[in-house]
Amino acid sequence: MQRIPSLDKLGKESSVTVSLLEVYRLFLHKEKALYSTLNKFKKEEKLYLGFCWIPKSDNQEVLHKIEALKDSNRNIEIPTLKVVQEHSVRPPSLFRLNEVTWVF
């Protein structure tokens, strides 16, 4: 067992004893999820193109977060969002969950 620093849900630093094997397992799980997501993008000349669906009610919040990202680090290329009005793709289902319905 090895003691490693970690962050709990409140964002405060704590020290937890965990297996190094478990740390590697979690790392590999995150890397696999990252690469499987990146593989869904289409590579063009100098950029990657991906499609996403954002509910209309969350559109302004996403734009504000992108602006905050641009303000926090000038070295990051900012994604460009283009709204496609006419398409034949049916949007996915959206279920807003609260503390009562999240278990279902």
Lowest mean pLDDT among 8-22, 31-45, 71-85: 8-22
Question: 15 or 2, which is more confident?
Answer: 15
Residue in 65, 57, 96 with CA at minimum distance from that of residue 81: 65
Write out the two tokens for 62: 């996403």
pLDDT tens track for 30-68: 999 999 988 988 888 878 888 888 888 888 898 888 888
Query: What 8-state DSSP symbol labels residue 85?
Result: -
Burial class (CB in 10 A: 0-12, 13-18, 19+), 66: middle
pLDDT of residue 11: 45
